[in-house]
């Protein structure tokens, strides 16, 4: 199911609408959205704006009132819903593990439904539990109630990845985890996605998380109306309006610096061992932090000397750098 050139399949929403019975207004009103194959799109928007409803229409846990959904060009509304759902990984907002199945059985459920042989399904389960930092020997045979909320959520992520689906819908998948676990999960997930290139819709309340994980971010208003849909760098540099700016917060420049690395800034002269040292791949935000901490306006990377002025220029802030002198 679903034509793909990469690991993922393109998703297209056209005038997608959901009117729940007895409600004055549609929960989702005429959404148009194209998600390229292999990209992760973060949905950000206030509680009740229609994020979950939009997602649930894609795997048809909620039937659209009108509109179109295509995945890899195929008309989703013409496919059998059960079959469809086996090819879409889904991490639901409330975790939703089966309480009477062990952790291993929960993760292995879809591969089993898809008819994978047992050794293959079991090996996959072990790999995925290890990936989400749950030691398989310790957790595989436990039941969901014997895990913390954050651990259950990680099992939910492993379960969604189990059958290697081209499309993943993830509804605040890391919401119940502490900041350290969350950062670990984000980093592991980014590494994984680099290889897998699945098409992912990822709901988060955390704009930093959207910036870190998203190839693009869709900032949503009520009824899933799209306020802006663009790359994190473009949204940070040019928020469409005050509504979008309110999600970014006051430190847009620092957030932009966090998205770029020292390798993107032209250097001045060869590496200087007398200056504070940054490694290849260090973010500009970290480089700036290092300069401030050392009371200097330069640092050195393996490529050469990096100045505060060059750093500002790289994000189009030459005038700020000059004006600060």
Contact footprint for ligand ATP (CB under 6 A): 20, 23, 27, 45, 47-53, 93
Token pair for 104? 């291993």
Indicate the residue among 51 and 159 with the shorter CB distance to Mg ion: 51
What CA–CA distance (Å, rounded) separates 183 from 48?
26
Q: Which class for 325: exposed (0-12), middle (13-18), buried (19 or more C-beta within 10 A)?
A: exposed
Smallest gap, in angstroms, from Cβ of residue 94 to Mg ion? 9
Region of residue 305 (left: phi > 0; alpha: psi -120 to 50; beta: else): beta
Residue 52 binds to Mg ion (criterion: CB under 5 A): yes
In the list ligand ATP, Mg ion, none, the entry touching 53 (Cβ below 5 to 8 angstroms by class) is: ligand ATP
In the list ligand ATP, Mg ion, none, the entry touching 81 (Cβ below 5 to 8 angstroms by class) is: none
In the list Mg ion, ligand ATP, none, the entry touching 50 (Cβ below 5 to 8 angstroms by class) is: ligand ATP
Nearest to Mg ion by Cβ — which residue?
52
> DSSP letter string over 76-133?
GGGS-HHHHHHTEEEE-TT----TTS-HHHHHTHHHHHTT--HHHHHHHHHHHHHHTT
Indicate the residue among 193 and 204 with the shorter CB distance to Mg ion: 204
Nearest-5° Cα angle at 223, 176 to 210: 40
Indicate the residue among 45 and 214 with the shorter CB distance to ligand ATP: 45
What CA–CA distance (Å, rounded) separates 89 from 289?
39
What CA–CA distance (Å, rounded) separates 134 from 219?
33
In the list ligand ATP, Mg ion, none, the entry touching 48 (Cβ below 5 to 8 angstroms by class) is: ligand ATP
Indicate the residue among 52 and 193 with the shorter CB distance to ligand ATP: 52
Q: In 3D, which of 288, 282, 280 has the Cα closest to residue 254?
A: 288
Residue 224 binds to Mg ion (criterion: CB under 5 A): no
Smallest gap, in angstroms, from Cβ of residue 201 to ligand ATP? 12
SS3 content of the chain, % helix, strand, coil (to 5): 40, 20, 40
Smallest gap, in angstroms, from Cβ of residue 174 to ligand ATP? 14
In the list Mg ion, ligand ATP, none, the entry touching 228 (Cβ below 5 to 8 angstroms by class) is: none
Smallest gap, in angstroms, from Cβ of residue 81 to ligand ATP? 17
* CB neighbourhood size of 79 (10 A): 17
Residue 54 binds to Mg ion (criterion: CB under 5 A): no
Residue 261 binds to Mg ion (criterion: CB under 5 A): no
Smallest gap, in angstroms, from Cβ of residue 93 to ligand ATP? 6
Indicate the residue among 177 and 301 with the shorter CB distance to ligand ATP: 177
| Residues 199-223: b if buried by 16+ CB within 10 A, e if exposed | bbbbbbebbebbbbbbbbbbbbbeb
- In the complex, which residues of this chain contact Mg ion (CB under 5 A)? 51-52
């Amino acid at each position: 199911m679903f034509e793909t050139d990469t690991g993922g399949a393109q998703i297209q929403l056209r005038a997608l609408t959901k009117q729940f019975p007895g409600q004055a207004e549609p929960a989702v009103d005429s959404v148009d959205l194209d998600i390229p194959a292999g990209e992760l799109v973060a949905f950000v928007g206030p509680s009740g704006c229609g994020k979950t409803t939009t997602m649930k229409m894609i795997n048809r846990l909620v039937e659209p009132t009108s509109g179109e959904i295509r995945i890899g060009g195929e008309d989703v509304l013409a496919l059998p819903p059960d079959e469809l759902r086996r090819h879409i990984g889904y991490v639901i907002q409330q975790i939703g593990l089966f309480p009477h199945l062990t952790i291993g059985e929960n993760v292995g459920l879809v591969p089993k439904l898809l008819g994978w042989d047992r050794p293959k399904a079991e090996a996959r389960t072990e790999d995925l539990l290890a990936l989400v930092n749950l030691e398989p020997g310790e957790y595989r045979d436990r039941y969901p109630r014997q895990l913390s909320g954050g651990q259950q959520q990680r099992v939910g992520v492993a379960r969604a990845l189990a059958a290697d689906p081209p499309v993943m819908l993830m509804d605040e998948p890391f919401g119940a985890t502490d900041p350290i676990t969350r950062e670990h999960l984000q980093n592991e997930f980014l590494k994984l996605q680099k290889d897998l290139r699945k098409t992912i819709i990822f709901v988060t309340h955390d704009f930093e998380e959207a910036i870190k994980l998203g190839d693009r971010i869709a900032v949503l208003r009520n009824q899933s109306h799209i306020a802006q849909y663009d790359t994190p760098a473009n949204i940070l540099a040019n928020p469409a309006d005050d509504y979008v700016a309110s999600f970014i917060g006051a430190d847009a420049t620092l957030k932009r610096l966090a998205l770029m690395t020292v390798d993107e800034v032209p250097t001045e002269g060869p590496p200087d061992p007398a200056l504070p040292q940054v490694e290849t791949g260090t973010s500009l935000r970290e480089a700036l932090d290092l300069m401030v901490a050392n009371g200097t306006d330069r640092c050195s990377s393996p490529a050469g000397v990096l100045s505060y002025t060059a750093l500002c220029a790289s994000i189009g802030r030459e005038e700020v750098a000059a004006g600060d002198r």
